[in-house]
Amino acid sequence: MSITVIFFLGFFVALIGVIPPGLLNMTAARISLKEGAGRGIMFSTGVCIVVYIQTYVAAIFARYLSNHSDIVEILQRVAFVIFVLITIYFLVLASKQSELKQETEIKSKHGRLLHGMLLSVINVFPIPYQAYMTITLVSFGWMDFEKLSIVTYVTGAATGTFAMLYFYIFFFDKIKDRRFTSQKSMNFSIGIITGLVALITFINILREL
């Protein structure tokens, strides 16, 4: 598989993971609206630095798991159950969840860079998500665990994350008053994403039976 295809696989996998309005992209949008696009971009850069590291760790972990097929089979089934439960939670039970509180105001650009890195470190979901998606992509033969493939995929993932944060920064002012950003819609969006991941997991389990 060419490195261009692998790059865009990483790009779109990360892009899908950041589409639902959440802490990182909504914070980037608020910073941009309150302090200007420059600080929003600095925040997003900090996020993507950590995402790059997290995705690389996830890919290395996935490579280790790929050599232990028995563990992978167990994790696939556990992941399927977890994603189904998360989907049910966000589609059915989380419609009344309260809105996220606004973050403490930070003024300097360097402060926003560190702020982005800190929030991204707290958000550890990309590690299991990317580890599982990497194993899935390898199982379909769409990439491998060679160093060049991993670095290309990780670069694509970081770029995809930045692209979605960039979108939120410059277009949030156009959608901020629409129903898309309501808590109910946010939960529904997350539920749809995790539901799709659960479906991919289920298909992969069936393929290996």
The pLDDT value recorded for residue 93 is 59
- Which run of H or E residues covers position 190? helix 183-208
- Residue 185 banded pLDDT, cuts 50, 70, 90: low
Q: What does the radius of gyration of the chain's CA atoms come to, in whole angstroms?
A: 18
Please provide the DSSP assignment of 14-71 as one string: HHHHH-S--HHHHHHHHHHHHH-HHHHHHHHHHHHHHHHHHHHHHHHHHHHHHT-HHH
In this predicted structure, the answer to whether residue 19 has a pLDDT above a threshold of 80 is no
How high does pLDDT run on average in the chain? 79
Type of residue numbered 3? I
DSSP for residue 111: H
The pLDDT value recorded for residue 87 is 76
Lowest mean pLDDT among 45-49, 116-120, 197-201: 197-201
Q: pTM score, two decimals?
A: 0.70
The pLDDT value recorded for residue 26 is 78
Instruction: Give the rounded percent of residues in the chain with a pLDDT score beyond 70.
Output: 75
Instruction: Give the rounded percent of residues in the chain with a pLDDT score beyond 90.
Output: 28
Q: What is the distance between the alpha carbons of residues 167 and 185, in angstroms, rounded to a whole number?
A: 18
